[in-house]
Amino acid sequence: MISLLVLFPLIGAAAVLLTARDNPAVIRRVAAWSCGASLLLALLLVFSFDRFAGGVQFEMRRPWVESLGISFHAGLDGISAVMILLHGLVSFSGALVSYSIKERVKEYFVFYLLLVASIYGVFISLDVFFLYLFYEMAVIPMYPLIGIWGSKNKEYATMKLTLFITAGAVLALVGIIAVYQMAGLKSFDLIELQRHFAVQPLPQRFQKWAFPFLVFGFGVIASLWPTHSWSPIGYAAAPSAVSMIHAGVLKKLGPYLILRLALGFMPDGARIWLPVVAALAMVNILYAGYCAMVQKDLKFIIGFSSVSHMGYILLGLACLNEAGLTGAVLLMFSHGVMAASAFSLIGFVYDQTHTRRVDELGGGLARKVPFIAVCFIMTAMASLGLPGFSNFISEILIFFGSWKVFPLFAAIGIFGVLVTSIYLLRTVKQVFYGPQTVSWEGLKDAVTVRARAPYLILIGALLVAGFFPQLLVGRIRSGVEPLVTAVRWSEETRLSSSSTVWKVYGDGGR
């Protein structure tokens, strides 16, 4: 059943291919329905996931290349359950937002559905080979989607984005193959490998050099400083739905894979290297926050803001304790939904005004497009960590988690929230408040249910998760706990004094 998540969008893509080119209405509907089907299935899976049992559920396995130990092994644990929910929400809203695409509708939706399917693939795969395969597959449709349907500077942006992500992937591939060889199991199966490493961990010396390959390789897609520069310009150039998927979901693949592969395989390496990652994450938070402060293009502002928020996720990962990791995964969800909402709203305004520049929009739009303004303000509030939205809970968890380990970083992170509120409130004020200086005759608010649905779905999700955090936290926790146990075990048995290069970890607390 779980592979249906991938199949629905693929079937949708095939159906779109078979539909006549001159019938865009049908094409759009097919695309929306197939994403919607996956979303419903994702909801069903997430809520039937037994959070008390934990572990991997809904497993399925089909052998593929047995000589190399590759099989199509799919399943969900607490972390990936939350991630498919995120992807379901964002991809469905993205499909609805894509109704505004007018050129080459058919090709657009084929690529879009391929992208959606491969990201589902990443989240459900429990085989490292397929994990990597789907990951690379996701990059391929991204290239034409930005290159053809993008705006301003799209060629440069798409090239840069694709190259960066591929480079990161290659770096990570080195690490993956090294782990595969080192394990000597002749198996790419994630669960088998992890079970093996629990009994017989990889040598510390190996972990010390192999870990950075994985963490910095996947760090590129998590826009870890200084490999973040593809992200703001990439989002700025991409069409709305692609920005949504990219900032919302694809970027979260970075931390997700770090959690899955790097942390899952090499707890020793994690203890050695994650303080470095945490320090870089601080640069992410502050540097990108200040960069966002002087941007004029709305998408650049949100782009830098997403780079800044990835810093919190990475900080949470680096804590290596339950609170931090849970917070990081919850923030992956919350920030994903929030970023998708922000990009879709900007896209809404851009489609009609053809400018995203704060100074050209001229302010006072709240009177003109009240619904969009309210949604944007709520999104901004979510982003700056207002209680009631799940972003707040995740950030709080990250702060509590990191306070024990990196008190200074936690304090900087808290200051970063202030920076976020400064630039977001300023943006809200400049675009939506104040007197209107440009009349924007053609600008119409979203009135139909179809036009409002994406925003309502996304913001509603944030609110539900914010008011009832335990819904997601319970599931995430069941996925995070085995990782923390492995780390703690590694710490207790292998804390030979010379091995930690960065002796910043204080006393316990984990």
Partner 1 sequence: MLTLAWLVLFLPLAAAAAILAGTLRRNFLSSALACGAMTVSFLFSCAIFFQLAGRNFEAAESHVVLVSIRNFELEFGVLVDRLSAIMLLIVTGIGGGIFFYSTEYMKDDPGYSRYFAGLSLFAFSMLGIVLSTNFFQIFVFWELVGVSSYLLIGHWYQKNEAADAGKKAFITTRIGDVGFLIGILMVWSLAGGAGKETLNFGVLESLMGDGFSGGMYLTLACLAVFCGVLGKSAQFPLHVWLPDAMEGPTPVSALIHAATMVAAGVYLLARTFFLFVHSSQALFVIACTGCVTALMAALMALVQDDIKKVLAYSTLSQLGYMVMAVGLGSASAGMYHLVTHAFFKALLFLGAGSVIHAIHTQNIWEMGGLLRRLPVTGWTFLIGFLALAGIFPLSGFFSKDEILTLASMRHPVFYLAGTLTAFLTAFYMGRLFFTVFTAEPRREHHPHGEAAVIRIPLLLLAFFSAASGFFGLGHWLHTHHDAEIEWNFWVVSISLIVSLGGIAASYLVYNLRIPLPESLGVVFAPARKVLENKFYLDDFYDALVQKVQQNFAGLCDLFERWVVVEWMVNGTARVTAWSGDMLRRLQTGRIHFYALVFSAGITALVGWWVLAR
Positions touching partner 1 (CB under 8 A) are: 160, 226, 228-230, 287, 290-291, 293-295, 322-323, 326, 364, 366-367, 381, 385-388, 392-393, 396-397, 399-400, 403-404, 407, 410-411, 414-415, 417-418, 421-422, 425-426, 429, 432-436, 469-470, 473, 477, 481, 509
486: nearest Cα among 263, 213, 161:
263
Q: Which two tokens stand for residue 370?
A: 């009240």
Q: Given the complex with partner 1, which of 17 and 418 has the nearer CB atom? A: 418
- φ and ψ at 72, to 5 degrees? -80, 100
> C-alpha angle with apex 191: 310 to 480, nearest 5 degrees?
40
State the DSSP code for 321. S
Give least dist CB 461 to partner 1, A.
17
User: Among the residues of 150-225, which ranges form H helices?
Assistant: 154-183, 190-199, 204-221
Q: Given the complex with partner 1, which of 7 and 422 has the nearer CB atom? A: 422
Q: Given the complex with partner 1, which of 343 and 403 has the nearer CB atom? A: 403
Q: Given the complex with partner 1, which of 358 and 381 has the nearer CB atom? A: 381
Is residue 237 within 8 A of residue 303, CB to CB? The reply is no
- Whether cis (ω within 30° of 0) applies to the bond prior to 226 is yes
Q: Which two tokens stand for residue 347?
A: 């896209």
SS (H, E, C) 211-234: HHHHHHHHHHHCCCCCCCCHHHHH
Give least dist CB 345 to partner 1, A.
17
Q: Given the complex with partner 1, which of 121 and 254 has the nearer CB atom? A: 254
Pairing, β 70-76 against β 57-65: antiparallel
DSSP per-residue codes, 85-108: HHHHHHHHHHHHHGGG--SSHHHH
Give least dist CB 386 to partner 1, A.
6
Q: Given the complex with partner 1, which of 126 and 169 has the nearer CB atom? A: 169
Give least dist CB 321 to partner 1, A.
9
Give least dist CB 333 to partner 1, A.
14
Under 8 Å CB-to-CB from 126, ≥6 apart: which residues? Answer: 56, 59, 73, 74, 75, 189, 190, 191
> C-alpha angle with apex 77: 76 to 78, nearest 5 degrees?
125
Q: Given the complex with partner 1, which of 144 and 388 has the nearer CB atom? A: 388
Give least dist CB 497 to partner 1, A.
25
Q: Given the complex with partner 1, which of 182 and 386 has the nearer CB atom? A: 386
Give least dist CB 486 to partner 1, A.
15
Is residue 159 within 8 A of residue 206, CB to CB? The reply is no
Give least dist CB 204 to partner 1, A.
27
Q: Given the complex with partner 1, which of 7 and 425 has the nearer CB atom? A: 425
Is residue 303 within 8 A of residue 233, CB to CB? The reply is yes
Give least dist CB 508 to partner 1, A.
10
Torsion from C-alpha of 388, 87, 310, 177, nearest 10 degrees: 150
Give least dist CB 425 to partner 1, A.
5
Give least dist CB 366 to partner 1, A.
6
489: nearest Cα among 273, 257, 200:
200
Q: Given the complex with partner 1, which of 163 and 174 has the nearer CB atom? A: 163
Is residue 58 within 8 A of residue 45, CB to CB? The reply is yes
> C-alpha angle with apex 258: 178 to 140, nearest 5 degrees?
85
Q: Given the complex with partner 1, which of 60 and 408 has the nearer CB atom? A: 408
